[in-house]
Amino acid sequence: MLTTLERWLWRLFRCCIGVSFAVLVIAVLIQVVGRIVGASPVWTEELTRFALLYVAAFGGGLALKSGDLVNVDVLCESFGERLSKGLRFCCAALTALLCAALILPAWKFVAIGMFQTSPALGLKMAYVHFSVVVFIAGILLFALFRLSAILFEGNDGRPDNAREPL
């Protein structure tokens, strides 16, 4: 059940990264063409920043899953397998706890954005601030999936890239 949910979320987050990146590319393309033609629309600069925030937000959890986040593998892998697995479990648990503690403050940040609008797009800043919630929730979910895999599936707790042969 959790594996199916994890796969579904992995696909969803990858799709959302693709959409965010496409928006980023289109906005930059409009910016560049606008500068060549004469004047670039003001809103493209703002949209580019917002799209980049969402690329990072959707990518955070996936980076944790794949092992692309900065990690302390040198320390964890220098011990025996049992202790290394325990350290990976503790790291995932601490990551999940930290993210769980940050969800409510991040949501308050989103609520503040309901009273603000972006200058060029006129967009409620809550939509932009929501990227912080997505970032924290993504890391939280994929840390919980790692904990679940260690506890219930006998997984060693290594990220996906660490299990692939070189």
pTM comes to 0.88
Cα atoms in the 13 Å half-sphere on the side-chain side of 125 = 13
pLDDT band at residue 72 under the 50/70/90 scheme:
low
What is the C-alpha separation between 9 and 2, in angstroms, rounded? 10
What is the C-alpha separation between 26 and 36, in angstroms, rounded? 15
Asked whether residue 71 carries a pLDDT value surpassing 50, the answer given is yes
- The mean pLDDT value for 145-153 works out to 91
